[in-house]
A and B are shown apart, each in its own frame.
Chain A
């Protein structure tokens, strides 16, 4: 575990140094981050021009969900997307072999090596929206709520990571991964609203099949005191299940992988 943290530190240091070399990328990413965030916030705002609540959530409550939505988009684009792009190359060119022979967990290496720190702007915007909404709601959550909220954020990050890994591991067979990422983001779009606005069948799907609800709606609901500890437990169980599934699937894929060059 210590060793992995140290390796991760080295990976990230190298990635940050590379990013600092291409500082113009900051200017490339910035307008997109800001325009995307404004569009997301305005979309929710327009709804509330016509109503006081959607799915039982007030404007600032729904804005909490928007903040989480933006935070996790930023997290995926900062920590995961750069690796997905490389992953396609590993498989196409056969350089995956170099990762498999290293004395390091291959999934860890292939999925966490690179970051794009400029996309961290999205995370900051997300946190800003979150803080603003909490402030306007006048919510000062009790310490136990804060702890539950933090646990749920960690769960959400792992759920997203696991879903993405389940999808990209299928790349061992299909290679074309861009489309696969689109598939995930399509479902993720639904996460910009509290899940209660959707009809029952879709709500069930977004909670248990593709558990997007646990990424944005549940953490927001817990910090507001709408949901209690049992949902934290449920989140932990779902997270553990998904993570185990993605690790098992990766192992299975690597075992059956016959490289591109040989």
Chain B
């Protein structure tokens, strides 16, 4: 746990850097557009035929507003760094340092969150207030519920983080890990509720998604804050989510250790 002592410093450094790269801000805002396009289509549908699988227009609006918020809070864009550090050999000096290179990646992700929150939260709050006169938006903002939301968001972030770390580490052996990363991004986008609320999927797929990792990358904290889950469902969700976090973590350790060995052997 000695690495924990380095965290305050790393966080400070990467926070300063996150403010430096302001071009990213535009990307964060733009990545919210696809969910909002989807929202318009669902709301049009809900208004013409009442509720769909229990979602009325107000539910779709609250859902997609939360998608834009939680996508930012659970995003971890580390694949490219892991991948290119391995391929270019930039990893070598990092391996000499006393803490695991992944701590750098994690603190960088965490340090970018305050700025992201500062940018997406005000428009979402404003939109919620403006729209609440016309639609009965519903968020469960009880303190205990917000605690569960925080735990689920943290789990979602770790899942995405380790998934990308695993795929990035494949660069130890293959030069086109990016192909796999792209597949992960598409599959995860589709099955995590980023494009479509999972409640709209066929029942069989919904059931499967309770046990697969994708839902826990995004939809889970959103469903909690919308008050859509019973305490039992939340509990089951936490068990599944953190089981997947552990599984991904173990897989990462396995891949990384073997990778570093073969990396040294090549002498890159």
- Interfacial residues, chain A to chain B (CB-CB below 8 A): 24-25, 27-32, 35-36, 38-39, 42-43, 46-47, 49-51, 54-55, 176, 179, 182-183, 186-187, 189-190, 192-193, 197-199, 202
Q: CA A28 – CA B48 in complex, angstroms?
A: 43
| Cβ contacts A to B, 7 pairs, < 8 Å | A27-B179, A31-B179, A32-B179, A35-B186, A35-B187, A50-B45, A55-B44
Determine if B33 is an interface residue (Cβ-Cβ < 8 Å).
Answer: yes
- Asked if A35 contacts B183 (CB within 8 A), the reply is yes
- Asked if B30 contacts A24 (CB within 8 A), the reply is no
- Asked if B195 contacts A176 (CB within 8 A), the reply is no
Determine if B53 is an interface residue (Cβ-Cβ < 8 Å).
Answer: yes
- Given A35-B186, A39-B189, A42-B190, are A199 and B30 neighbors across the interface (CB < 8 Å)? no
- Given A46-B201, A47-B45, A186-B33, are A31 and B26 neighbors across the interface (CB < 8 Å)? no
How far is the CB of B81 from the nearest CB of chain A, in Å?
Answer: 16
- Chain B contacts for A55, CB-based, 8 A: 44
Determine if B180 is an interface residue (Cβ-Cβ < 8 Å).
Answer: yes
Q: Which of the listed residues B49, B182, B200 has the most CB atoms from chain A within 10 Å of its own CB?
A: B182
Given contacts A47-B41, A198-B44, 5 further A-B contacts (CB under 8 A): A32-B179, A49-B200, A54-B45, A182-B30, A198-B41
| Residue of A whose beta carbon sits closest to that of B24 | A179
- Given A49-B200, A49-B202, A179-B26, are A31 and B183 neighbors across the interface (CB < 8 Å)? yes
The listed residue (B26, B40, B195) touching A183 by CB distance below 8 A is: B26
Query: Which B residues, 43 to 76, have Cβ-Cβ distances below 8 Å to chain A?
Result: 44-45, 48-49, 52-53
How far is the CB of A31 from the nearest CB of chain B, in Å?
Answer: 5
How many chain B residues touch A (CB < 8 A): the figure is 32
Q: CA A189 – CA B52 in complex, angstroms?
A: 23
Q: CA A197 – CA B44 in complex, angstroms?
A: 7
- Chain B contacts for A50, CB-based, 8 A: 45, 49, 52-53, 200
The listed residue (B33, B37, B49, B175) touching A24 by CB distance below 8 A is: B175
- Chain A contacts for B176, CB-based, 8 A: 24-25, 27-28
- Asked if B45 contacts A189 (CB within 8 A), the reply is no
- Given A32-B183, A46-B201, are A179 and B190 neighbors across the interface (CB < 8 Å)? no
Q: CA A39 – CA B33 in complex, angstroms?
A: 17
| Residue of B whose beta carbon sits closest to that of A24 | B176
Q: CA A48 – CA B190 in complex, angstroms?
A: 16
- Asked if A182 contacts B27 (CB within 8 A), the reply is yes
- Chain B contacts for A189, CB-based, 8 A: 33-34, 37
Query: Which B residues, 131 to 185, have Cβ-Cβ distances below 8 Å to chain A?
Result: 175-176, 178-180, 182-183
- Given A39-B190, A49-B200, are A28 and B44 neighbors across the interface (CB < 8 Å)? no
How far is the CB of A18 from the nearest CB of chain B, in Å?
Answer: 17
Chain B 185-220 near chain A by CB (<8 Å), digits 1 or 0: 011011000011000111000000000000000000
- Chain A contacts for B186, CB-based, 8 A: 32, 35-36, 38-39
- Given A24-B176, A32-B186, A179-B23, are A193 and B41 neighbors across the interface (CB < 8 Å)? yes
Q: CA A74 – CA B195 in complex, angstroms?
A: 21
Q: CA A182 – CA B186 in complex, angstroms?
A: 17
Q: Which 6 A-B pairs have the closest CB atoms?
A: A32-B182, A35-B186, A28-B179, A186-B33, A28-B176, A39-B190
- Chain A contacts for B196, CB-based, 8 A: 43, 46
- Asked if B195 contacts A39 (CB within 8 A), the reply is yes
Q: CA A28 – CA B175 in complex, angstroms?
A: 10
Q: Which of the listed residues B53, B175, B176 has the most CB atoms from chain A within 10 Å of its own CB?
A: B176
- Chain B contacts for A27, CB-based, 8 A: 176, 179
- Asked if B30 contacts A183 (CB within 8 A), the reply is yes
Chain B 1-40 near chain A by CB (<8 Å), digits 1 or 0: 0000000000000000000000100110010011001101
Q: CA A193 – CA B41 in complex, angstroms?
A: 8
- Chain B contacts for A179, CB-based, 8 A: 23, 26-27
- Asked if B40 contacts A198 (CB within 8 A), the reply is yes
| Residue of B whose beta carbon sits closest to that of A187 | B33
The listed residue (B23, B37, B182, B200) touching A35 by CB distance below 8 A is: B182
- Asked if B26 contacts A51 (CB within 8 A), the reply is no
- Chain A contacts for B187, CB-based, 8 A: 35, 39
- Chain A contacts for B41, CB-based, 8 A: 47, 54, 193, 197-198
- Asked if B195 contacts A43 (CB within 8 A), the reply is yes
Q: CA A190 – CA B34 in complex, angstroms?
A: 8
Q: CA A190 – CA B33 in complex, angstroms?
A: 9
- Chain B contacts for A197, CB-based, 8 A: 40-41, 44
How far is the CB of A229 from the nearest CB of chain B, in Å?
Answer: 29
How far is the CB of B191 from the nearest CB of chain A, in Å?
Answer: 9
Q: Which of the listed residues A36, A54, A186 has the most CB atoms from chain B within 10 Å of its own CB?
A: A186
